Structure 1
Amino acid sequence: MAFPVHQLYLFGAGVLLFLPLLKLAESGKLLVISQDGSHWLSMREVVVKLSEKGHEIVVIAPESNLLLKESKLYTRKTYKVPYKQEDLFQRFHGFAKGIFREVHFPYTILQEYQNNMYVINMFFYNCNSLLKDRELIQYLEESKFDALFTDPALPCGVILAEHLSIPSVYFFRGFPCSLEHAICKSPNPVSYIPRCYTRYTDHMTFPQRVLNLLVTSLETPLFQDLYTKYQDIASEFLQRDVHLPTLYRNGSIWLLRYDFVFEYPRPVMPNMVFIGGINCNMGKKLPQVCQMSLFHIFFPI
C-alpha cells in the first residue's frame, strides 16, 4: 500500500533518531534480527535506506524462511533450524486461515492465543537454534557491531543485544494486548483505556469497567505464558538469572509502527516514538485511468 506524505516524514524522523547510534560521521555496523513474514517486509524498507547511506548491515536468518532472502544491500548469515521449508509453509498457512475465522468475545481471546502459539513455538525453535550456534555467536562477538536493529515481538534480538552489550533499536507494531506499555511501565489506566478483545470504547459503563479490570489482570499471565521459555534459554545463554521485562527496558529507542492519533491518549516513555503506519511494502502508483472510460462506467450509454 502507498504511504501518505505525513507518514513518510515520520518514517524519516524515526530513521534520523536511529542514525546517531550508527556514528553519523562514518559508516556504522548494524546487526539486524527480524521475524520472518510481514515483520521483515516492514524492516526491510529501513534496512534499504540505511544501506544506501553506506552502513554495513548483517541480517541473521534461519535456513528455512519465507522472505529473509539474500541481497546485495546486506550480508546474510544463516543458522540451521529443526524443520524443513515445507513445514514452514504449512504452519504459516494454518496461521493465516486462523486469522480470518470469525468468533465472538470472549472466544476471540482463546482463538488469538491458539493461533499465535502456532507460529510462536516455531519462532522459539529459531531462537533456541540461533543461541546454540556457537560458530555464528562467535562471529557476532568478533564483529563489533555498533547497534542492533530488531523486531522485539519475540525477544531473541533483545537477548543478543544484552549479550553483545550494544544499543538496541526496536521497530514493531506492538505486543499482544499492548504489553509494551506494561513492560515499560507507561501509565495505562483501565478506567478509560479498553483492553484487547473487549471491543469497548473509552466511554464504558460500570460493568464494562469491571470486566475491563478483570481482563487487565490477565496481561501478566499472558506475558509469562508467551515468554517463559525465552526466559529459560536467556538465563542459560547469558549464564545468569534473567527477567525478560528488564531486558526489554534496556532498548535505546522504541520505534512504534502505529499512529498516536488512533490510540487512546496516555503518556509514553521518552524513548518511545510513534512513526505511523509503516507496514509491509511500499505501494506502487496507481495506473492512469481515462476520464472518459470512468464516465462510461458510471453513465453507460
Structure 2
Amino acid sequence: FYGRASLLLLLTSAFLLAEGGRILVIPQDGSHWLSMRPVVEKLQQKGHEVVVVVPSTSLYMTSKEPQNYTVRVYPTPYPDGHLGAMLKAFTDAHFVGGSVLNLIIASYRSTVELSKVFFMNCESLLHDRDLMRDLRESKFDVVFTDPILLCGPVVAEYLSVPSVYFLRGFPCGMDFDATQCPNPPSYIPRFFLYHSDTMTFAQRVKNMLVHLLELFYCKPIYAKLEDLAYEVLKKKVTATELLSRGSFWLMRYDFVFEFPRPVMPNMAFIGGINCQQKKKLSQ
C-alpha cells in the first residue's frame, strides 16, 4: 500500500497538476506491461485521463480486456504468435550452457532479433499519421512509458511533452550514461559476470573487457531506432540522448538486491511495487 501510494504521489508531483491530467502511456509488451498496468489503472482511478497506445498484435496488451482507461490501437506487420515465439527464443538464450562468452553471444543474437520485432512496432506507431496527429492534438501533459526500446521517448520528444520512465534497468549501462551517474567498471560488476562489488584484480580486468564489449553490443540494437528518430524528429539524436530527456525515473528495483551506487535527484526506487498485496496475518 505504502509503495503504491508513494508512487502515485511522485507521479502527481512530477506532472505538476493540482487536478487530474492527461497522460499518454506508451508501454512495452510482455512482463513489462504486466508491471505497468496496475499503476496505469490506479492513475485512472485517481482522476487522471489515461490513454494507452497498444499494437494490434500483442501478448498481454489488448483493447478487449476490461479496463477503465482509453486504448488506442495501431496495426502491426506480423501475425499472432510471432512475438511469443521470439520472446521464447530470447528467454531460452539466457539459459545456454557453457562459458560466459557463449552466454553473451547467444543473448546478443536473440536480443538483436527481438529488438527487430519491437522496432517494427515502433515504426508502425510513428508512421500512423492519423494516430500521431490525434495524439498531438490531444495536448497530453506527460508521457508515461517504459523506455527500454526508446519508442516512448521518441513520441514524447515528438509531442514536446515531459516523460516519466517506469523501468527495471537498461543494457550496456545506458541508464548510467543518460543520467550521468558514475559507473566505474573497477567497482560495478557487469551483467553476465555475477561478480560482487569487491573484485580481485583478475575479475576487474574481466569486468573491463566486458565493459569495452558493451560499446559494440548495444549499437546494432538501437541503430535503426536512431534512424527512425531522425526521420520523425528531423534531427540527429543518439539513443543515450533520447533517454536522457526523461523528466523522472521510476526504477523498479531496490538496493536490498542491487549494488549501491550514486543516483540523481530525479530517480526514485520503487522495488516491490508489483508485489502482491497480502492480507495481514491473524493473531
Q: Does the pair score TM above 0.5?
A: yes
User: What is aligned with 2:155?
Assistant: 160
Q: 1:66-113 CA distances to partner (integer Å, 9 max, x unpaired)?
A: 111234311111111110113233323333433444443122211221
Percent identity, please: 48
- RMSD of the alignment, in Å? 2.1
Amino acid at match of 1:27: G
- Cα distance change, pair 249–56 in 1 and its aligned pair in 2 (3 A): same
Residue 177 of structure 1 deviates from its aligned partner by 4.0
Q: Unpaired segments of 5 or more residues in structure 2?
A: none
Q: Give 2:246's match in structure 1, choosing from 245, 251, 268.
A: 251
- Cα distance change, pair 102–277 in 1 and its aligned pair in 2 (3 A): farther
- Cα distance change, pair 99–283 in 1 and its aligned pair in 2 (3 A): farther
Cα separation, 2, equivalents of 1:285 and 1:103: 44
Whether 1:282 aligns to 2:272 is no
With CA pairs under 8 Å and 6+ residues apart, which has the higher RCO, 1 or 2?
A: 1
Decide whether the 8 Å contact of 1:34 with 1:60 is kept in 2.
Answer: yes
Decide whether the 8 Å contact of 1:21 with 1:147 is kept in 2.
Answer: no
- 1:92-111 map, 5 Å: 92-111=87-106
User: What is aligned with 1:123?
Assistant: 118
Cα separation, 1, equivalents of 2:265 and 2:76: 38
Residue 65 of structure 1 deviates from its aligned partner by 0.8
Q: Give 2:33's match in structure 1, choosing from 25, 31, 40.
A: 40
Residue 23 of structure 1 deviates from its aligned partner by 4.7
- 1:187-226 map, 5 Å: 187-226=182-221
Decide whether the 8 Å contact of 2:172 with 2:218 is kept in 1.
Answer: no
Residue 157 of structure 1 deviates from its aligned partner by 0.4
Cα separation, 2, equivalents of 1:271 and 1:230: 25
Cα separation, 2, equivalents of 1:186 and 1:138: 36
Where 2:51 maps in the other structure, the secondary structure is strand
Residue 203 of structure 1 deviates from its aligned partner by 2.0
Where 2:52 maps in the other structure, the secondary structure is strand
Cα separation, 2, equivalents of 1:59 and 1:43: 11
Which aligned segments of 4 or more residues in structure 1 are displaced greater than 4 angstroms?
Answer: 283-288
Choose 201-210 or 27-36, whichever is displaced more: 201-210
User: What is aligned with 2:10?
Assistant: 17
User: What is aligned with 1:65?
Assistant: 58
Residue 266 of structure 1 deviates from its aligned partner by 1.7
User: What is aligned with 2:141?
Assistant: 146
Q: 1:108-145 CA distances to partner (integer Å, 9 max, x unpaired)?
A: 21122122223211000000111111000000010000
Structure of higher CA gyration radius: 1
Structure 1 length-normalised TM: 0.86
Q: 1:186-231 CA distances to partner (integer Å, 9 max, x unpaired)?
A: 1112222111112211222212111211211122322322111100
Where 1:124 maps in the other structure, the secondary structure is helix
Cα separation, 1, equivalents of 2:107 and 2:281: 38
Whether 1:233 aligns to 2:225 is no
Cα separation, 2, equivalents of 1:217 and 1:246: 20
